[in-house]
Amino acid sequence: MAQYTRVSGVVGLITLQNPPVNALSAVVRQGIVDKVETALSDPKVKSVVICGQNGNFCGGADIKEFGTKMFGPPLIPMIHSIEAANKPVVAAIEGSALGGGLELALGCHYRIAHSKARLGLPEVTLGLLPAAGGSQRLPRLIGVPAALNLITTGRHVTAAEALQLGIVDQVTDHNTVDAAVKFALSVAGRSLDARRISTYPCPRPSDLDALFEEVMQKVRQSARGAIAPVACVQAVRAAATLPYTQGMEREKELMATLFTSGQARAMQYIFFAQRAVGRWRMPSGASWDTSKPRPVTKAAVIGLGTMGRGIAVALARAGLSVVAVETQEKQLLEAKQAMSSMLERGAKRRGGVPALGLISYSQSIQAAADVDLVIEAVFEDMALKIEVFKQLTAVCKPGTLLCTNTSGLDVDQLASETPNPELVVGMHFFAPAHVMNLLEVVYGPRSSPQAVATAMQLGKKMGKASVAVGNCSGFVGNRMLKLYLEQASFLLEEGATPELVDRALEEFGFPMGVFRMSDLSGLDVGWRVRKAAGLAEPGEASGPSARIRKGYRYSPIGDLVCEQGRFGQKTGRGWYQYEKPGSRVARSDPWMHSFLEQYRARHGLVARSIDHQEVLERCLYSLINEGFRILEDGIAAGPEDIDVIYVFGYGWPRHRGGPMFYASMVGLAKVLERLEHYHQAHPDVPNLQPCSLLRRLVASGSPPVHMWREVRKKLHSQL
């Protein structure tokens, strides 16, 4: 709703009230329409201020209403009537003015913002465009290039940047509503002819066609198949080339296409999934709302390899005091230099001061004596980690949380080696840890809810999508990835090339296909794990048993490539070739093609033609099938957890909503049928056998994603 009062006798003050972000629900829109009418018809009122309750202007249209029947007054005429008013209307912007919230403010005649306010048109991140006039007013106000940047990226700007761009008229450090009322008093009675943005001509850069061509090309490239960014460019082009009314028509047309698209549904699902994962629940019943996190002001990171450095930088950026421990002197010096430049580069990019003073460096684990939480990031070796945890237990103050950044070792085994296993959780960061926005918080059967709550809160403080998951080999992300990688190798055996597989996955929307990605991460990492698991065997054995391990199909291709010293980008050779070690541009490698031919010949394999559809179905459906197994096992509490992990950590295209949501869009029956088909064709690949939860869901009529937890519960109660 919206509240109305009169202040200073002559200013009508309209306050949006819809906690927590004052989203423009039907009731709020109706409230605005009514209160604007009241203010305009009151002869005593000379000007109007619109603000939001609780220091928050407006988070935009109510996303929960999308996809439901529309009630209440529509946004566009509501904003038009404000702009057409014959009394000045001032927006008092505190907190955020986003999407429809900023569009409402652009319909006002003046905008005053608090210095801490954030403004933006993030519709593109929800698969939409600013369709309440935002795509037509913003370019008229700030020019085409700046508007294109804001609308196609959806980025939020600070009040200072908004002032510089000309989006707001004034910025205040004081009470924004008071400042807006004062301003409203000062402009009462002034002509509004020059204040209605829809009447402005859109400034047209001389090289308009070239500009749009260049932007469109860039947007298409980075959109990876998402349609909203392209529609945003088309809408801004309409603003630049058409009169306002026709531009609004074009905006409406483009929005109609987006609004009903599967992509918008997927992206809105991810918006809510990202928030839902914060409401975690452990199988014991402990949950976010009953578990209080401990305060963490000082943390230690043990081991300053690539991961440890990134983690320490992420902690310092979040404002924590960090003790960075590395026992090797040379490594410590290198780390110090690298971390300082990471902090400096970050501060330069984001503005602000690098948090160099928050990090202290030491060669001794004793330095962790007074910290609240430790994250160990030493080499992936259980014996070494156990030793580090032993030393930490002796050194740290009682109650210090001990977290491990292992990506594959058993968190529970590590916990069992400490006297207080309840204080141990996994904090699985993704490389580079100061850049990647995902954290898997891994709890074992003995981890206390408080330890989980603390790690989850710390992840959020570092700006990471943090997902609580159970302990199993590979946790959620890597457990699923294993099957995706496995299928990719099998496809090479059967006739595909790395280029073909990667092209199919990149056209689907991944930033990099599986082989380019592996070259980037380093092929030796997986090889070491396979050797430790007794899978990778040296030498080029031939015959049927060379491709079988523990009774099942196994592809040694990756091991053989590593045996050639081809570890990916870092060695200049991997699945592709690179100009020199460390170069990033992957080029087709004739060596690889003849290696694959020889490999097939040695194993009596006949190459067949493989199309993109088969690549996608085998790689993605096997990964999805494992996702269902993870749900069945209770390692992830719901499909949202898996989808957030994949979108934020594994480059799954956001406009496809994550693997589990994607499965629901494809149709569970189809996924099941294709898995059955491939399992029949490859009976020696047990992972292609559809799991029982998937079968059960199909038998229950393929309910939508939000109902899967119920089906799982029923399945469990019957087991």
Ligand X SMILES: CC/C=C\C=C\CC(=O)SCCNC(=O)CCNC(=O)[C@H](O)C(C)(C)COP(=O)(O)OP(=O)(O)OC[C@H]1O[C@@H](n2cnc3c(N)ncnc32)[C@H](O)[C@@H]1OP(=O)(O)O
Point out the residues that are catalytic.
Answer: 103, 123
Question: Minimum CB separation from ligand X for residue 101, in Å?
Answer: 7
* C-alpha radius of gyration, the chain, whole number: 28
* Residue in 12, 31, 52, 59 binding ligand X, rule: CB under 6 A: 59
* Residue in 36, 62, 308, 640 binding ligand X, rule: CB under 6 A: 62
Question: Minimum CB separation from ligand X for residue 171, in Å?
Answer: 19
Q: Which CB, 275 or 345, lies closer to ligand X?
A: 275
Asked if 138 and 166 touch (Cβ cutoff 8 Å), the reply is no
Q: Maximum CA pair distance of the chain? A: 94
Q: Which CB, 62 or 617, lies closer to ligand X?
A: 62
Using omega within 30 degrees of 0 as the cis cutoff, is the peptide bond preceding 20 cis?
yes
Burial of residue 111, with CB atoms counted within 10 A of its CB: 0-12 exposed, 13-18 middle, 19 or more buried: buried
28 is a contact residue toward ligand X (CB under 6 A) = no
Query: What distance in Å separates the CA atoms of residue 17 and residue 52, rounded to the nearest whole number?
Result: 6
Question: Minimum CB separation from ligand X for residue 49, in Å?
Answer: 21
Residue 634, Cβ neighbours under 10 Å: how many? 14
Choose the binding region for ligand X from 55-63, 135-143, 198-206, 535-543 (rule: CB under 6 A).
55-63
258 is a contact residue toward ligand X (CB under 6 A) = no
Q: Which CB, 63 or 605, lies closer to ligand X?
A: 63
617 is a contact residue toward ligand X (CB under 6 A) = no
Choose the binding region for ligand X from 20-28, 221-229, 519-527, 653-661 (rule: CB under 6 A).
20-28
CA-to-CA separations, 516 to 485, 521, 542, 577, 703, in angstroms, rounded: 12, 9, 27, 10, 36
Using Cβ positions, the residue closest to ligand X within the complex turns out to be 99
Asked if 663 and 657 touch (Cβ cutoff 8 Å), the reply is no
Question: Minimum CB separation from ligand X for residue 121, in Å?
Answer: 8
390 is a contact residue toward ligand X (CB under 6 A) = no
Dihedral sign (CA 653, 218, 432, 271)? negative
63 is a contact residue toward ligand X (CB under 6 A) = yes
* Residue in 45, 61, 138, 451 binding ligand X, rule: CB under 6 A: 61
Question: Minimum CB separation from ligand X for residue 72, in Å?
Answer: 12
Q: Which two tokens stand for residue 122?
A: 């993030």
60 is a contact residue toward ligand X (CB under 6 A) = yes
Query: What distance in Å separates the CA atoms of residue 281 and residue 469, rounded to the nearest whole number?
Result: 9
21 is a contact residue toward ligand X (CB under 6 A) = yes
Q: Which CB, 122 or 653, lies closer to ligand X?
A: 122
Written as one letter, the residue type at 47 is: S
Q: What is the DSSP string of 265-306?
A: HHHHHHHHHHHHTTS-B-TTS-BTTT-PPPP-SEEEEE--SH
* Residue in 204, 275, 390, 713 binding ligand X, rule: CB under 6 A: 275
Residues 67-106 that bind ligand X (CB under 6 A): 75-76, 96, 98-100
Q: Are strands 321-325 and 359-362 parallel, antiparallel or unpaired?
A: parallel
How many residues line the site for ligand X (CB under 6 A)? 23
Q: Which CB, 179 or 254, lies closer to ligand X?
A: 254
Q: Which CB, 16 or 623, lies closer to ligand X?
A: 16
88-93-98-100 Cα dihedral, nearest 10 degrees:
-30
264 is a contact residue toward ligand X (CB under 6 A) = no
Query: What distance in Å separates the CA atoms of residue 577 and residue 582, rounded to the nearest whole number?
Result: 11
Q: Which CB, 260 or 306, lies closer to ligand X?
A: 260
Choose the binding region for ligand X from 85-93, 122-130, 167-175, 388-396 (rule: CB under 6 A).
122-130
Q: Which two tokens stand for residue 454?
A: 């603390």
The contact set with ligand X (CB under 6 A) reads 20-21, 23, 59-64, 75-76, 96, 98-100, 122-123, 126, 128, 131-132, 272, 275
